[in-house]
A and B are shown apart, each in its own frame.
Chain A
Amino acid sequence: MMSNLLHPGLILILGGLLLPFFRGIWRSLWSLSIPLLALIAVWMIDNESRLSVHFLDYDLQLLVADRLSRLFATVFSIMAFAGVLYCYRQARTVELSAAMLYAGSAIAVVYAGDLLTLFIFWELMALGSMFIIWSAGTMASWQASRRYIMIHLLGGVILMTGITFYVLETGSLAFTEMQADRLSTWFILIGFLVNVGAPPLSAWIADAYPEASFSGMVFLSAFTTKTAVYVLLRGFPGTDLLIYLGLFMIFYGIIYALLENDMRRILAYSIVNQVGFMVCGIGIGSEMALNGAASHAFTHIIYKALLLMSAGSVLYMTGKRKCTDLGGLFQSMPLTAICGIIGALAISSFPLTSGFISKSMITQATVDYHLLYPWLLLQAASAGVFLHAGIKFPWYVFFQKDSGLRPDDPPLNMRLAMILFAFLCLFLGVAPAWLYQLLPYPVEYVPYTAAHVLTQLQLLLFSGLAFFILLPLMQRTLTISLDFDWFYRRFFPLLFTLIEAIWLRLVRLSLGVYAGIRQVVFTGLGFIYQSPLISQSAARVSLAVIWVVLFLAGYLVFYLIEN
């Protein structure tokens, strides 16, 4: 164990846990300085650093650093700082504390050198993010946080199962590149894919995140899906399946966002869309594509947080989140509108913004490999991003019909956080070398050629034309769109109620028959079994027994398959 090394993730985790002990000015100073301290610690770590602890029979690699982990840890620390700056005066202490815990465990996942360490912080991240959703304090957020943790615990169990078998097979805990060619690595891959928002479970993002507070969603958008991108980058580069999953996520995000009325759910679906680009790049697996995926994760965290800060400011000032209630806000919230538009341009990969220099590397990778259909789909998707996020979000929130609302721009600290991230979106767009030198592989790509700028402008501006021509077809309605979460919110509960009802009836029937027989045989004792109280509780107990038997049977089946 090296003692001259500070673990940036642990700084944030400890900082978050100690936050509730501070009040007033000290609370502000503490919450703002901890992420900065973490950022400094990230940059103090050289790329050969190691930090390990002995635990039971294992040497846990708490910190293994290289270029890729530094890239992600850097953007996570920057994000933690801007997120705290955005809300340290407005957010509840429990939310700030959970956010720091969440960011810290995300950084710890990035530095984890072995699968057990990774898993521990992976689960801590799930807890931290659940507390963020929950701390919004509404009934909806409480229910959403429960559905959210259910999905992530499921993913965690799948991941842990995979890790266990992987360790049994290979005898090694080390987290290195693997192939999805046997059950153990498939389980690990599926565990990762749950957090990346892959189908069929993509719905948890749009279900849970928008129920967080105005500031909570800013944090949530950054860490869970991007740590999943990171572990896929490290664990499964070049896995063909990821190309198709990524493409599916891209279009799923666009179509659902087009149908959506809630501004923050639009942005939630667009997380799935953007992460789809990264997953697709990881699937392609060339150095260009992996650089593209990594840099896109970096720029995406910043512009998506900026978009959500802008939406969060609108929510904070008006209390409204539906497009049908908003409109015309650019008149009284000019700064929020401008920052939102900069974020929207960046997510659309407009020239001179950060999205332009990162996403084009993924597209370029398909050209290098002569993949015509993926290329065509990615180009269509780039147009679709402008459609569903680039124009739709600012148009319905800040322009369209005048809603008559005249809220002011939000308080100073919220404005500063937005200005910082808007600046970064533009800075990375005009000075790409700054980001390129941080990428895992050497970059020879030149984003700014006359041809590239022109073709991108044609693609985007004509998508814009399509938006305004088709505006009548996109009238906002007071609706939501059904998704896979329907199965666990509606279908399964109904199914279980049905099974339970049938079972109870069967038990009562058989008890009745039994009682009848008893009555004939022991006339004197028969009345006990006719008592509704006793038969009811007997049926409940037998139902619990049935569940236990089912679980044990399931366990047995798994055991037999594995042997």
Chain B
Amino acid sequence: MKKHWLYTDEGRRGVWRTGIIVLVVTVISELFITLHPHFSIERVFAFYALYGFLSCVAMVLFARLLGYLIKRRDDYYDE
């Protein structure tokens, strides 16, 4: 079976590269578009990018910690 290009190292590098370019563009565009901040915290440059990233990190870490407490084998309820 032929490997799909997404599963090759080269393809994966290409996807990452494209992704990072897109990310950079969305941040830089902020210089050319007038935002309409309502709350003062929105005035921080690239606030949405930072906030989105950091809140996701927080949620993943929290889920990970909670997981230690509440995760059980998936046959837990089967007798």
Hey, which bits of chain A sit against chain B, CB under 8 A? 251, 254-255, 258-259, 261-262, 322, 328, 331, 367, 370, 372, 375-376, 379-380, 383-384, 387, 399, 402, 449-451, 454-468, 470, 473-474, 477-483, 489-490
Contact indicator B56/A480 (Cβ below 8 Å): no
| Beta-carbon contacts under 8 Å, B29-75 to A | 29-30, 33-36, 38-39, 41, 46, 48-53, 55-64, 66-67, 70-74
Given A450-B33, A480-B74, A481-B71, answer yes or no on A383-B63 (Cβ-Cβ < 8 Å).
no
Please name all residues of chain B whose beta carbon is closer than 8 Å to the beta carbon of A461 when the two chains form the complex.
Answer: 22-23, 26, 49, 52
Q: If A261-B74, A479-B72 touch, does A459 touch B52 (CB 8 Å cutoff)?
A: yes
**Chain A residues within an 8 Å CB radius of B36:** 449, 451
**Further pairs besides A258-B59, A380-B58: 8, Cβ < 8 Å:** A380-B51, A383-B56, A383-B59, A458-B46, A458-B48, A463-B53, A464-B19, A465-B19
Given A254, A331, A459, A473, which contacts B61 in the complex, CB threshold below 8 Å? A473
Which residues of chain B are within 8 angstroms of A466 by Cβ–Cβ distance? 52-53, 56-57, 60
Closest 6 CB pairs of A and B: A466-B56, A380-B55, A459-B52, A458-B48, A258-B63, A462-B53
A-B contact count (CB 8 A): 138
A274 to B6 alpha-carbon distance, docked (Å): 32
Report B53 CB to chain A, min CB distance, Å: 4
Chain B residues with Cβ below 8 Å from A387 are 56, 59-60
Residue in chain B with minimal CB distance to A372: B39
The reply to whether B67 and A465 contact each other, CB–CB distance below 8 Å, is no
Q: Contact between B57 and A458 (Cβ–Cβ < 8 Å)?
A: no
Q: Which of B51, B58, B64, B67 contacts A379 (CB 8 A)?
A: B51
Smallest CB separation, A382 vs chain B (Å): 8
Chain B proximity of A148: nearest CB distance (Å):
14
Cα distance A259–B7 in the bound complex, in angstroms: 25
Report the minimal beta-carbon distance from B19 to chain A, rounded to whole angstroms: 7
A455 contacts B35, C-beta separation under 8 Å = yes
Q: A450-B33, A465-B19, A465-B53 are in contact. Are A458 and B27 (CB under 8 A)?
A: yes
Could you jot down 13 A-B contacts, CB within 8 Å? A254-B59, A259-B66, A367-B38, A372-B41, A380-B55, A456-B48, A461-B23, A462-B49, A464-B19, A465-B53, A477-B71, A480-B77, A483-B70
Is B73's CB under 8 angstroms from A478's CB?
Answer: yes
Cα distance A490–B70 in the bound complex, in angstroms: 14
Alpha-carbon gap, A119 to B5, bound state (A): 56
Q: How far is the CB of B65 from chain A (nearest CB, A)?
A: 10
A residues in contact with B74, CB < 8 Å: 261-262, 322, 478-480
Contact of A331 among B4, B51, B56 (CB under 8 A): B4
Q: For B55, list chain A residues within 8 Å (CB).
A: 379-380, 383-384, 463
Q: How far is the CA of A290 from the CA of B67 in the complex (A)?
A: 35
Contact B33–A375 (Cβ < 8 Å): no
State how many angstroms separate the Cβ of B45 from the closest Cβ of chain A: 11
Q: Nearest chain B CB to A140's CB is how many angstroms away?
A: 8
Considering the chains assembled together, what is the distance between the CA atoms of A483 and B71 in angstroms? 10
User: Does A259 contact B63, Cβ atoms closer than 8 Å?
Assistant: yes
The listed residue (A255, A331, A462, A477) touching B52 by CB distance below 8 A is A462
Interface centre among B23, B41, B70 (most CB of A within 10 A): B70
Which chain B positions have C-beta within 8 A of A367?
A: 38-39
Smallest Cβ-Cβ distance to A380: which chain B residue: B55
Within the complex, the shortest CB–CB distance from B14 to chain A, in Å, comes to 14
Indicate if the CB atoms of B72 and A482 lie closer than 8 Å: yes
Q: Are A467 and B56 in contact (CB under 8 A)?
A: yes
Is the Cβ of B60 less than 8 Å from the Cβ of A258? yes
Distance A372 CA – B39 CA, assembled complex (angstroms): 7
A387's closest neighbor in chain B, by CB? B56
Residues on the B chain within 8 Å of A457, using CB:
26
Q: Are A458 and B72 in contact (CB under 8 A)?
A: no
Contact A489 B59 (CB under 8 A): no
Question: CB-nearest residue of chain A relative to B58?
Answer: A380
Contact of B67 among A254, A259, A454, A467 (CB under 8 A): A259
Taken together as a complex, chains A and B put the C-alpha atoms of A468 and B59 apart, in Å, by 14
Given A383-B56, A480-B74, A454–B35 Cβ distance below 8 Å?
yes
Say yes or no: A259-B71 contact (C-beta < 8 A), given A367-B38, A458-B26, A459-B52: yes
Residues in A whose Cβ lies below 8 Å from that of B77: 480, 489-490
Inter-chain contact B71/A462, CB cutoff 8 Å: no
Give the distance to chain A from B66, nearest Cβ to Cβ, in Å: 6
The answer for the CA separation of A90 and B58 in the assembled complex, in Å, is 43
The answer to whether A458 touches B49 (Cβ under 8 A) is yes
Q: B53, A480: Cβ atoms under 8 Å?
A: no
Residue in B41, B59, B66 whose beta carbon sits within 8 Å of that of A380 in the complex:
B59
Q: Chain A: which residue is nearest B67 at the CB level?
A: A259
The complex places the Cα of A115 from the Cα of B26 at a distance, in Å, of: 51
Contact B67 A481 (CB under 8 A): yes
A262 CB contacts on chain B under 8 angstroms:
74
